[in-house]
Chains A and B, each alone.
Chain A
Amino acid sequence: EAGVVQSPRYKIIEKKQPVAFWCNPISGHNTLYWYRQNLGQGPELLIRYENEEAVDDSQLPKDRFSAERLKGVDSTLKIQPAELGDSAVYLCASSRRSVNTGELFFGEGSRLTVL
Chain B
Amino acid sequence: AQSVTQLGSHVSVSEGALVLLRCNYSSSVPPYLFWYVQYPNQGLQLLLKYTTGATLVKGINGFEAEFKKSETSFHLTKPSAHMSDAAEYFCAVSVAGGNEKLTFGTGTRLTIIP
* Stretch in B36-44, B61-69, B74-82 touching the partner: B36-44
Check B102 for interface membership: any CB of A closer than 8 A: yes
Q: Are B99 and A103 closer than 8 Å at their CB atoms?
A: yes
Instruction: Name B104's contact: one of A43, A100, A107, A109 (CB within 8 Å).
Output: A43
Shortest Cβ distance from A31 into B: residue: B99
Tell me the count of chain B residues lying within 8 A, CB to CB, of chain A: 27
Contact with B along A82-107 (1 / 0, CB 8 A): 00000000010101010011111111
Tell me the count of chain A residues lying within 8 A, CB to CB, of chain B: 27
| Most chain A Cβ neighbours within 10 Å, of B43, B46, B51, B96 | B43
Task: State the B residues within 8 Å of A (CB).
Answer: 9, 32, 34, 36, 41-46, 49, 51, 90, 92, 94, 96-107
